[in-house]
Structure 1
Amino acid sequence: MFFVASSRDTSGAGRGSERRSIYQKFRNVDLLDKKKTVTALKPGEDRAILLGLGMILSSVMLYFVLGITVLRSYADSVWTEEGVCIVLNATVTADENCSYSCGSDCWRLSKYPCLQVYVSVNSTGRVSRLSHNEETQDTSSECFYVPRCQKDSAAMHMMIVNISEWLKVNTQVPCYYDPAEQQETVLLTRLYDHAVVFHSLLWPSCMLTGGGVIIMMVKLTQYLSRLCEEIGKIKR
């Protein structure tokens, strides 16, 4: 009886150690797979974080560039009020000289007709000279529009004549004026209005938001991975 019991105990202990060895092998394989998964995910997470940081840095640089160009010009502009201008007179006066490039260190003269337009701003009742935009106002204080200088002066003349005829047909046009009346000139269009500022800031804002979302998603994934690992340790 003793020998039979001993043999049974020995066989039971062998089966138990065999089960433990099999369980240990499966566990080692599971841990190895987890390590491989973590090793494979780590470079991808680093690249995603670098992508997010790059997008945020690029958006900040774009904000800086737009701040010293578009936003500064928009803030410094005095033509802030929009009204309706009634065209009183549109006359082509004397020719203005301009220069165009004909090669490296080569400049030649050409001429374009100066179109002077006077309007009445219905909200103020004053008569003012109409200019195309801020750039035209800075280039010429008398002419409504300054075309790009070119060799063919006849083409520039035809362009100015077409603008004059259009203003004679469309006698009421939207315009921008200075409410403080520091500038007597009114503008037909603004280089940087509300729509231009909005569209200029839209893409940097989307890039900044996208970079932040990418970093948040990576951090959330890492947090959930650690949480699952801790829950697994508690269950074991």
Structure 2
Amino acid sequence: MFLWTGSRSSQGTGHERRTIYQKIREYDLLDKRKRVTALKAGEDRAILLGLTMIVFSVMMYFLLGITMVRSYTDSVWTDESNCTVLNSSIVSEINCTYSCGSDCWKGSKYPCLQVFVSLNSSGKIFRLSHNEETHGLNPECFYVPKCRKDYTVARTIIMNISERLKSHQQFPCYYDPGERQDMVLLTRLYGQGAIFHSLFWPSCMLVGGTLIIAMVKLTQYLSILCEQINKIKR
């Protein structure tokens, strides 16, 4: 009787031990599955972030390419020199229109300031324009102000510009080395510095997105490699 009872108690203890071991193993497997699931979700988010950064950088490259970079490459005023002011005067008044509300336009005027300069590198005389945009709006005038209702405001702006040009007799300017244009520019709409700064951040975003995806893929590869090594050791 005693032996039978002892045998039952030992069998029960062994069964309990196996049950506890199975529960611990189940908890370990469940915890491992949770870690793998969380890691998989984190990797998916990281890859999505990297792809989003790459897409946005490509879109920014496209927008900058058709605006700033295209304007920079199409510009013929590529060489820089010094210019000396020879004459700065208002020659005429140009008609313009300004908005006075929804579907409402009224006429006004602005003074046309013509500036002639001597290019120090060649000694030739050219008409001076503010930038490529001004040249496209009105190549006869140095600066095209915003059309205003009050003409005196526009005239005051132009007179201030004329006085500043006269006070600075020499200043850097840009000219066409092929001499296809009979005018020079005071400033370029998009210079090398502007192009560099505009392309810097999209480039950083593209490199960052690529690195994020590469790091995730490398982590996945190393994880698979470790699992294969552990299976071989077992």
**TM-score (norm. length: structure 1):** 0.88
Residue 71 (structure 2) aligns with: 73
> Matched residue of 1:97: which SS?
strand
Structure 1 CA distance for aligned equivalents of residues 17 and 123 of structure 2: 100
Output one character per residue of 1:97-137: Cα deviation in whole Å (capped at 9) or x when no partner: 11101112211111111111000111111100000000111
Amino acid at match of 1:182: R
Which of 65, 90, 93 matches 1:92?
Answer: 90
Which of 44, 48, 56 matches 1:58?
Answer: 56
Residue 128 (structure 1) aligns with: 126
Identity of aligned residues (%): 66
Amino acid at match of 1:48: A
> Matched residue of 1:163: which SS?
helix
Residue 34 (structure 2) aligns with: 36
Which of 35, 42, 45 matches 2:43?
Answer: 45
- Give unpaired runs (5+ residues) of structure 2: none
Residue 103 (structure 2) aligns with: 105
- Give unpaired runs (5+ residues) of structure 1: none
- Offset of 1:26 from its aligned partner? 3.8
- Offset of 1:161 from its aligned partner? 0.5
Alignment of 1:1-236 (within 5 A): 25-236=23-234
**RMSD value over aligned CA atoms?**
2.3
Output one character per residue of 1:65-106: Cα deviation in whole Å (capped at 9) or x when no partner: 111111111111100001100111111222111110111221
- Offset of 1:22 from its aligned partner? 5.5
Change in CA separation of 1:169 and 1:161 when aligned onto 2, cut-off 3 Å: same
- Offset of 1:24 from its aligned partner? 5.0
Greater than 4 Å deviation, 4+ residue runs: 13-25
Structure 1 CA distance for aligned equivalents of residues 103 and 127 of structure 2: 36
Instruction: Kindly tell me the number of residue pairs found equivalent between the two proteins.
Output: 229
Change in CA separation of 1:14 and 1:105 when aligned onto 2, cut-off 3 Å: closer
